[in-house]
Amino acid sequence: MSVAQVIEEPAVEPETGRPVPLPVDPKLRKVQDDFIRKWGEMGAIWGINRTMAEIHALLYITGLPLCTDDVMDRLHISRGNASMSLRALCDWGIIRRMHRRGERREYFESLGDVWEMFSIIAAERKRREMDPVLETIKNCIKALEPANLGKLAKDDAVVRTRERLDGMEEFMSVTNKVFQQFVGNAKSGLNKVVRVLLKAL
């Protein structure tokens, strides 16, 4: 409880002894809030809900490790919500748990590399959402192979459906490969795919 105990941190709250993590300057604060709001709105793109996106934006934009209470205070959300959303973000792997020497409280910080975050998210969404569809399509194509259909194989409707399935399969296979490149190569900075693209076009 006493301020005297804290020796490593320059600024602390007298009440709690916890380092003051949030920016005081209103100009900076406004910039960060703008970013957080827009990032939250865009959450849909990433398949992440608004609150989760905002928490992530907060951790990313400040570049500081923050604890649950910091997040609650700054975003005005409940403890339960903060706790669950932070856990979910950890599960995604785009933020990490952190401990401060001699402190019990857990802190969270965002990955700093946007490319890495994107890779993580892309890989997971590909696995969850694209792979199953591609598998279904392949099964559908198998089921319509002439060998499995007898004379029906030449039916107009069957032929049309087969063509459509083929078109979709080609598309998804190629898209998958592109994803794979992002995912496999991106560790930091521009990855191979992007370099190739920017050079070629």
Using CB under 7 A as the criterion, which residues of the chain lie in contact with DNA when the complex forms? 1, 16, 18, 49-52, 67-69, 76-81, 83-87, 104-106
Neighbouring residues of 152: CB distance < 8 A, sequence distance ≥ 6: 158
Concatenating the DSSP letter of every residue in 19-68 gives B--S---HHHHHHHHHHHHHHHHTHHHHT--HHHHHHHHHHHHH-S-EEH
- DSSP-H helix ranges across the chain: 26-41, 43-46, 50-62, 68-75, 79-92, 114-125, 131-143, 156-185, 192-200
Residue 127 binds which of its own copies, DNA, none (CB < 5-8 A, kind-dependent):
none
Q: Is 106 in the site for its own copies (CB under 8 A)?
A: no
Residue 145 binds which of DNA, its own copies, none (CB < 5-8 A, kind-dependent):
none
Beta-bridge partners for 108: 66, 97
Residue 83 binds which of its own copies, DNA, none (CB < 5-8 A, kind-dependent):
DNA
Chain positions contacting its own copies, by CB under 8 A: 23, 25, 27-28, 30-32, 34-35, 38-39, 41-42, 44-45, 47, 60-64, 112-115, 118, 125, 129-130, 132-133, 136-137, 139-140, 143-144, 148-149, 152, 155, 157-158, 160-161, 163-165, 167-168, 170-171, 174-175, 177-178, 181, 190, 192-194, 196-198, 200-201
